[in-house]
Structure 1
């Protein structure tokens, strides 16, 4: 059973990745009458037709319904009817700039283009930009029909684009989640290592001390592991619509099991006793049964409501944190050499599939982003400041549940058009987390009361994350976080071990099976080059 869970965890881990955060040109259409109002999503081009940032600063226009025409010319339209007002015309046949110039020649104060297709950022030839002097935006045709039904013909409209900071508070929440997960996972791994050594010294036996852990100790196994990750990612790219449901099922099982392990450890920590009940000569732990029921229920609720963006991200993040914690505790790297090989290969993997693969794909989107966001998430994959929003309700697009998701708190207009999220892949927590866990175990081996390696690696991870977000915000592009996290954590660990004179032992690690005296640490605090009986470093 444990081997199956480990295998499922490895499969899910192989699909972890970094995805992009998109900056849009969404704005708000405020429609009102004397007693009520409603607000709708519109898309504009700020560099072409900027809008005021606040509703109080926005001009109010009377809406004129010209959805019976495409407004490619002014024939049949009385200028006196539209002068100083906002026009609503249908999308089609001619360019946005031509419609705007026609509306402008008629004396209109603003132009709204109703679309039954997707809403895209309006653009024009460079020569046309300076000619258009009135605000221009696209709105959903169904929104206009709804507003017409609610307010009738006497609609008053205002257009504004609320400002939102690129440094959204959701980034701080993502950073907090990653740091808490890294710290708890490393601490848990170190505590398990201490229990393991105590169990061995007390004659508990190797199997009891193992606790279901799986150790990576061979460079060949690491290479095969990374190769399998590459193969899984490529398969997901070509067979996404089939394999996504397999991954969702695996996530439900693996995350429920991981949540059970985490909650069970918390119960042990607070000293909650486990009452046993015998049924047909079989003993059952009441605590374990109740915890299993809770964890399975949470996983099932997530599986059923996984596409409810408004609130399901809470459960996904909870299950994701548990999955990362359990992975860091279960999978251990035997020495620093394995850490270097694994993290270096995964760094190359991350950079290649984010930056290199766009040159080979048909749509110019990296395989990593395509798999992360799904083939139907075209609006989220749009580059730069260009956005694309569906004009009609779309069936929910299945996405892989391998990212932490936090709604962007400051993007009010963007959330009106569709919820925007700051996201971080599980791999950006787990991969450096395996090194943090190794440092925590090494602190146990050398009996470091200050946990110098563990704390230093956590600080290095924090600095790497801060640099990742800084580069992302400055460049306006999603970044492969491992490009910054791997060098920060590896170099910090190397420098610390070198300064303390423990590089030889830190590099070689501790093969448990040849330790003759588990009660003794590998090195005493502050001492170097000490051999352990039966061990060659």
Structure 2
């Protein structure tokens, strides 16, 4: 049952990316009192000041009774040298801005009862507008009126937006550590199994009891990838129903994975396994307490999963445990299977990220829409647009298939909503399965330097760095497997070829022939050529 849950959840794991936004801050004050609100602007209009001190303060004139599509009924003396706030509707943003500018206004705020979107216009319209323009929530203006009344002063400023946020380093650290630990754990488990075989413990039975599974058939790999494609398409069309099923499965699978991870650490540390007898059966007190803690963590996440301020910590903890346990229990039997699986998933990733936007109605890729939820706006314009609800809304459900770390430099996140750097579990698990295979192969050939494992981990690190670099330079999300798969596969193949072990590395071992008489592929007494290759 647990293996089935893992497979089903993996079918819902997709890579995703980060989104750039164009939020700014509106500071409304009267005397010594002030309050700040979220506004949305466009860099193509007149730029806003990067700091509060450098921003110019203007009196605010309330023209929300007007749409300002023309100058009728508005006296220039009333708005000259002041900031004006008008209602959204009936004409374009540029038309309102030109009317306000001709009347002598210094700043235009457009109050909206609809979602705030990045104000845009034809390229020919931008040079005509010489005053700052931004959208604000109408409810924020009403709140400011209630607090300050008449005589309000305003400042608009947009602190520099750091493209290279420290959260990227945290995401990179999480991914590399998870892949490395998962690969190391897989290799350690294989070594324990071989030692059990040497002592007559029965390797095949031990593997079956531990719940480990091995992919050894190319046909099964193809079927698995086809199921992933089908699952993704189903999630796209029936998201509102299937998202709750995936959330429930994640709670169960992640609690089980967290139990396995912590239990393995406690076992390694030699923690006591006090047992009590219940109806003739011995029950481990440690296991009971640990199970209660893991289930409680999963339940807390399930209940508070939409609390962005802090729940990301639990989601990342459960996600790390899930990825580690998956890499340890699901093994690829040889390099041929690794090449087939990773290559097919690379094509899958690229197709659903880059190709599907040409077929969807809103121009958003199926991968991004499913990973970020139906409210995944901004991607349709490569991250140059932002959409913020005008009224408080119930949080939309999102699939728990990504690592999330708040952007530390997101200065307006408390006003406009938290921004996150995210990485899909698939970008950890898929290359991680190859890293785990390399770790097991090091065990089979008795490599004291763990050359395959170490080199594959370094390749994964370089692939992740390239992924983030391309994303930052292009300003749009990237399918990480596009870089991770070539880096890890080519590096592993080069190491095997350099050491003269490609034949063994390609063939590996299979679950079907693995039995108690299995010996390492290369014994300690290797030929002179193989010994020399150890230095490669």
> With structure 1 as the length reference, what TM-score do the two structures score?
0.95
Aligned 8 A contact 2:378 2:384 in 1? no
Q: Deviations over 1:325-375 (max 9, x none)?
A: 000000001111111111111111111111111122222211111111112
Residues of 1 paired with 2:528 and 2:140: CA distance? 72
**Is the 8 Å Cα contact of residues 502 and 529 (structure 1) preserved in structure 2?**
no
Q: Give the TM-score of the pair, scaled to structure 2.
A: 0.95
Within-5 A mapping of 1:127-276: 127-205=124-202, 206-210=204-208, 211-276=210-275
Given that 1:377 and 1:397 are in contact with CA atoms closer than 8 Å, whether structure 2 keeps it comes out as no
C-alpha displacement at 1:516, in angstroms?
6.6
The CA deviation at 1:200 is: 1.2
Is the Cα–Cα contact under 8 Å of residues 182 and 458 in structure 1 kept in the other structure?
yes
Which residue does 2:95 correspond to in 1? 98
The equivalent of 1:287 in structure 2 is: 286
Tell me, what secondary structure is at the counterpart of 1:130? helix
Q: Could you give the per-residue CA deviations for residues 125-178 of structure 1, whole angstroms, max 9, x where no partner exists? A: 233222211111000000111111111112111000011211111110000000
Q: How far does residue 74 in structure 1 lie from its aligned partner after superposition?
A: 1.8
- Whether the aligned pair in 1 keeps the contact of 2:38 and 2:136 (CA below 8 Å) is yes
Cα distance change, pair 474–526 in 1 and its aligned pair in 2 (3 A) = farther
- How many positions carry a matched residue from both structures? 527
Q: In the alignment, which residue of structure 1 is the partner of 2:322?
A: 323
Q: Give the distance between the partners of 1:127 and 1:429, measured in 2 at CA.
A: 45
Residues 200 and 516 in structure 2, CA contact (< 8 A), matched pair in contact too: no
Q: Which runs of 5+ in 2 are unaligned?
A: 531-536
Match of 1:28 in 2: 25
Find out whether 1:76 has 2:73 as its counterpart.
yes
Determine whether 1:50 maps to 2:47. yes
Instruction: Please tell me whether the aligned partners of residues 83 and 109 of structure 1 are also in contact (alpha carbons under 8 angstroms).
Output: yes
CA contact (8 A) 1:58 1:160 kept: yes
Deviations 1:354-400 (A, max 9, x none): 11111222222111111111123335655341222111111111111
* 1:8–1:250 CA contact under 8 A, matched in 2: yes
Given that 2:216 and 2:332 are in contact with CA atoms closer than 8 Å, whether structure 1 keeps it comes out as yes
**Structure 1 residues 297-306 or 18-27, which shifts more?**
18-27
Structure 2: distance between partners of 1:344 and 1:125: 42
Q: Alignment partner for residue 13 of structure 2, among 5, 12, 16? A: 16
Q: Please say which of residues 74-83 and 397-406 is displaced more in the overlay.
A: 74-83
Whole-angstrom CA distance in 2 between matches of 1:395 and 1:525: 66
**In 2, distance between residues paired with 1:331 and 1:283?**
29
Matched with 1:490 is 489
Q: Which 10-residue stretch deviates more, 19-28 or 325-334?
A: 19-28
- CA shift for structure 1 position 120: 1.2
**1:491, distance to aligned residue in structure 2 (A):** 0.4
Counterpart of 2:118 (choices 114, 121, 127) is 121
Please report how far the alpha carbon of residue 525 of structure 1 lies from its aligned counterpart in structure 2 after TM superposition.
Answer: 7.8
SS at match of 1:126: coil
- After alignment, is 10-19 or 317-326 more displaced? 10-19
Q: How far apart, in 2, do the equivalents of 1:350 and 1:162 lie? A: 35
**What 5-or-longer segments of structure 1 have no aligned partner?**
531-537
SS of alignment partner, residue 278 of structure 1: strand
Does structure 2 conserve the Cα–Cα contact (< 8 Å) formed by 1:33 and 1:154? yes
Cα distance in 2, alignment partners of residues 145 and 51 from structure 1: 23
Aligned to 2:534: none
**Cα gap change, 1:42 to 1:514, in 2 (>3 Å):** closer
Distance 1:366 1:213 in 2: 34
